[in-house]
Chain A
């Protein structure tokens, strides 16, 4: 799972640089990729489960669905940003922390860009996977079967 998510981010989204390999090695070793990956899988899962099975509002319209998608994506964005920030810039990996602290390595500047990159990537993935969840979950929903269409 670690490798699968790692591949998504570095191959699909190009969030990788050999010059700063220590960051990505650390993410892998520490399960950071799993945390990032589970964010865009689990948070939308919970959100859409709530929408389709717990939200007992019988007058739901398409804009409700759109707002909820926005909220979900926003939560994923924030969670991912936080996770990436903690994993990369707040880790207990001494070697990485030293590299980041040493301005001459360039690690600090590069690492600072990563939380946003991962957050953007996860937001897009959450959008896609949220849409897929919607299409599946609506089949079993009794009240929101008609959303998004």
Chain B
């Protein structure tokens, strides 16, 4: 071979090698490698928040007789409320504090009494006592009306807060539960009406505080003295989802509420999709390979000893559910498939190539092949059931008479508006 030919030969080899290796970014530029992938047929998630600026926070504190036990001493109730009043996230907003009691029930010869306390949290703090509470019609409370008024105050860039013990005053009915049901319907109506006009989130915080005073029965005559024992109370926030998510994260709440607390959120599920991806390196049972082209597809799927399991990572950062809600497998469903969600954990240690907040593990001991849909539901948290009591025999730190009816009503109203939408839906295709 002549020298010329040898040089030409190596030149060709070099050219090919350069060409091949130079094609570094020639493929799939639109997909930046390593980042979370979104299902192709979903819209691009709108995680960016609207510039929601909180303008006003309106506090409604129920000051019926059954609430007096919360304000006759320094306790968690007072501390939590004051803490919330002084929330840094509320600094720039106008504040208004009201005491609310009375009933709109025409048979009671009463009326809803809304008494303005002031716009200064300091003043508000100083009015949290029995003497200041004793204003308006302390004989009665009207939860439905309170909801209406509070919901109404949560418009535009305004939040409203309702503090109550959430006990429905059904009077001395022979069938208190039926009476409760009737009341609940009105609650549901109130929420439905409000939701027609605006996308309002309802955040219910259940907290506990020392209570020293009479507990007036809602379903029968009389009262019971509770001496310095813990009783539940409820702080309910109403406002646009963006405002509540921004101002009232679990962390924020936790920083101000004294003692244990639980939360439940109700909101309209938006059309946005929650980013998710298959994580082939974790919780594997069986054999499979992630399809390179369609990242929401598993191919060559084969169970091992009859078992097939894998995990997906989801980014729930745009959702305001609590960790306990998100990690509860009962809040997930795999409709029309052989799979079930067996574990959900918060991602604490970074997994290479995975961007997300939680790992959801799904399992089946049947044929894994087919379309798999994993759904995060809008469900009532577990504590709701634990809180509920259908009678007033036990007055303690946990239970609230008819609480489930209340949350069901709210839940139904939101469910109606959601029209089958879930907060998050993940679709995976599994083939052989």
Contacts and interface: CB of A to CB of B under 8 A. Distances in A.
Decide whether A and B are members of one complex: yes
Interface string B375-413: 000000000000000000000000000000000000000
A34 to B, nearest CB: 7
Contacts of A105: 352
A53 B288 CA distance: 46
Interface in B344-389: 350, 352-353
B289 A26 contact: no
Given A22-B353, A25-B353, A46 B16 contact: yes
Contact of B34 (A22, A24, A28): A22
B1 A55 contact: yes
A79 interface: yes
A46 B350 CA distance: 45
Interface string A99-142: 10010010100000000000000000000000000000000000
A59 to B, nearest CB: 13
B28 interface: yes
Nearest to B287: A18
Interface in B278-303: 280-281, 284, 288-290, 292-293, 295
A107 to B, nearest CB: 6
A94 B350 CA distance: 13
A29 B21 contact: no
B21 A86 contact: yes
A109 B290 CA distance: 22
Contacts of B295: 25
A91 to B, nearest CB: 8
B51 interface: no
B27 interface: yes
A102 B352 contact: yes
Contact of A25 (B5, B9, B292, B350): B292
A96 B352 contact: yes
Contacts of B107: none
A18 B27 contact: no
Interface residues of B, number: 32
Task: Tell me the dominant secondary structure on chain B's binding face.
Answer: loop
B2 to A, nearest CB: 9
B353 A35 contact: no
B27 A2 contact: yes
B25 interface: yes
A43 interface: yes
Nearest to B290: A21
A38 B25 contact: no
A21 B293 contact: no
Contacts of A29: 27-28, 31, 33, 292
A54 interface: yes
Interface in B1-51: 1, 5, 8-9, 12-13, 16-17, 20-21, 23-28, 31, 33-35
A99 B33 CA distance: 13
Contacts of A21: 280-281, 290, 353
A16 B299 CA distance: 14
Contacts of A96: 33-34, 352-353
Interface string A10-45: 100000101111101110111100110011001100
B8 to A, nearest CB: 8
Given A6-B292, A21-B290, A95 B33 contact: yes
Contact of B20 (A26, A54, A83): A83
A53 to B, nearest CB: 11
Interface string B252-271: 00000000000000000000
24 contacts: A16-B289, A19-B280, A19-B281, A21-B280, A24-B292, A25-B290, A25-B292, A30-B24, A30-B25, A35-B20, A35-B23, A38-B16, A42-B16, A42-B20, A43-B13, A50-B5, A54-B9, A56-B1, A82-B21, A83-B21, A94-B34, A95-B352, A96-B34, A98-B352
